[in-house]
A and B are shown apart, each in its own frame.
Chain A
């Protein structure tokens, strides 16, 4: 749960430190950072949600059939 915000903070922090319009490397390129921060933010949010579900014990028992998925009382997010 805590890793998600840390990842976002780390990426934004690195982006602000390394973006350099006169630089030649990929890590100096703002477009690359926009793409990476843009794609990683929802993934980091997914990691937080995963942590939340795990914390609540949602993964203590894994469903083995579609019927079990349908029966899950917490079916709607």
Chain B
């Protein structure tokens, strides 16, 4: 124990910066890989899942829903177990190789017109591998950084990992817009057109990241456990069959991550889709609004992570959730009133300059809530579980919260708007009610006390 304290205290600023950078860049690239598939879904479906073929339609549904809802939590279990048994470093190196390899290969699969049903089958398999790898990556990166951080900087250091999901989205949007604008549409959409470039670029990004991560050493806390033979024999059983730990997994899920997941998804994805489909904003404006808002809000992940080291994690998380519950309907209502409601017959709307920047400001606010609930969450989760089962225990609630609760926002939104067609904002009741429930549970049961040591 004292050896580790000495190791951490002697570690220079440049070492910790290298650790944070190596972990964050890899995680950001994994998010980039995962997002480009969703952002290019329209082109991908034309190339691999042609309309009118029921088998291809089934494979498409599985690629969209199974990757996020089933395979991500499953990946959390598989790689969490591996990370708690073999080590953090090699596990999140493996997830990076799997993610980068499968993304590159998606860009290499010939279309349905060339190889028939084999094309959607291969793309589905590769998409499932992407989901699996994403499920294993985050817990490893957050754990790795936290286990290198002194207790008074744990929120600050891990908040850099928290920026990666947003920066990955930013990178994916930027690369796609850049490739798309550098060529005419006729060169972008064909079977071997420009839409494949973002997938190929991944190989280069992942290569660099693997090189950096290979030069990193194992987490000192895990290395100490391993050298003394105290690693968990069965992390899954310890995490989910020991009542004391299982109840903390449930508390993490229902008292924090469930609400964080829907706030995260609503701010970063649902808002853009709402602007494009309900407000009828043009393709470019709906995306550049998000890009500006992300660029402005991203530093706040770090700010709230840093603040959580001073005032505790709980009340920052809860304030973000409370603001989301109170303001979602007014903000989205404003979007509607100042776009399609002004010109109901328009099929595409281009906002005037002043209104455009007001929309940017409001989406910035939505992402600010994301930074409040997401910035301190890694430190919060790390402190909840002991080192021997930390990777497993924190990964599963995180991916259920973000992948399942967050990922369901558009589906439940569609379900609600079909059931109650009179209210265009009815889809918001899902994120509002989930966040409100999480807020109540969190306020009642979460502890604001910071864990001084995660070396146990």
Partners in one complex: yes
Residues of A participating in the B interface, judged by any CB pair closer than 8 Å: 3, 14, 18, 25-27, 29, 31-32, 35-36, 38-40, 43, 46-47, 49-50, 53-54, 58-59, 62-67, 69-70, 72, 74-77
Q: Give chain B nearest CB distance to A14 CB in angstroms.
A: 6
Near A by CB (< 8 A), chain B positions 254-301 give 254
Can you name the residue of chain A whose Cβ is closest to the Cβ of B418? A27
Cα A37 to Cα B137 with chains together (Å): 26
Interface of A, helix, strand, loop or mixed by DSSP: helix
Question: Can you spell out 6 A-B residue pairs with CB atoms less than 8 angstroms apart?
Answer: A18-B418, A25-B418, A36-B408, A63-B248, A70-B244, A72-B243
Residues of A within 8 A of B202 (CB): none
Residues of B within 8 A of A69 (CB): 242, 244-245, 248, 386
Q: Give chain B nearest CB distance to A28 CB in angstroms.
A: 9
- Whether A75 contacts B61 in the complex (CB less than 8 A), given A18-B415, A62-B447, comes out as no
Determine if B411 and A35 form an interchain contact, defined as CB atoms under 8 angstroms apart: no
Contact with A along B171-205 (1 / 0, CB 8 A): 00000000000000000000000000000000000
Can you name the residue of chain B whose Cβ is closest to the Cβ of A69? B244
Determine if A26 and B254 form an interchain contact, defined as CB atoms under 8 angstroms apart: no
Cα A31 to Cα B411 with chains together (Å): 13
Can you name the residue of chain B whose Cβ is closest to the Cβ of A23? B418
Cα A22 to Cα B71 with chains together (Å): 28
Cα A66 to Cα B386 with chains together (Å): 5
Q: Give chain B nearest CB distance to A42 CB in angstroms.
A: 9
Near A by CB (< 8 A), chain B positions 192-240 give none
Determine if A50 and B69 form an interchain contact, defined as CB atoms under 8 angstroms apart: no
Residues of A within 8 A of B254 (CB): 46-47, 50
Cα A57 to Cα B201 with chains together (Å): 53
Determine if A53 and B250 form an interchain contact, defined as CB atoms under 8 angstroms apart: yes
Can you name the residue of chain A whose Cβ is closest to the Cβ of B387? A66
Extra A-B contacts (13), CB below 8 Å, given A26-B61, A50-B254, A76-B241? A3-B437, A25-B418, A35-B65, A46-B253, A49-B250, A50-B247, A50-B253, A54-B445, A66-B388, A69-B245, A74-B244, A77-B242, A77-B243
Residues of A within 8 A of B62 (CB): 31
Q: Give chain A nearest CB distance to B36 CB in angstroms.
A: 21
